[in-house]
Amino acid sequence: MQIENFMDEDNRIVKDNYLAIQYQDDVRELFKQIADEVFGSSKIFYYAASRTISPELSADASFEEYINSKEGLIRAVISLPESGYENTEQLISLYNKITETFSVEEISILVVVADDDTFETGDEDVIREIFGKK
């Protein structure tokens, strides 16, 4: 779990990523639904660890409340088969669908288009290798 603990002008602020961890699989599945709708097939690499939320959103917040929270950064890598990518209009559609679904102020999405064979056999290790993050 990640905890941020700091002072603003008058108060101590504590943020954590409890909800991000709790809803990690739901967020990944939602990204997959959106990407599959646009591209037909996708693989999603999403880890919640970097998204911290202020205590105003309680630990028992619903998934809907969580995705409607404006705080924190959501990062994901979306891997696509080359045969599923047609044009930049798809990327615009993907962006629009994601920003309509998630209310966060910061979203970082990396789209990787892989040849079909690499896509079929690719997993998180392939993505890490592409970016030199072994």
Tens digit of each residue's pLDDT (9 = 90 or more) over 47-99: 776 677 767 788 888 999 988 888 877 888 898 888 989 999 999 999 999 99
The domain limits of the chain are: 23-53+60-130
* Long-range contacts, stretch 108-112, CB < 8 angstroms, 24+ apart: 108/73, 108/74, 108/75, 108/76, 109/75, 109/76, 109/77, 109/78, 110/76, 110/77, 110/78, 111/77, 111/78, 111/80, 112/77, 112/78, 112/79, 112/80
For domain 23-53+60-130, the CATH class is alpha beta
Reported pTM: 0.80
CA distance 47 to 72: 13
**Amino acid identity, position 119:** F
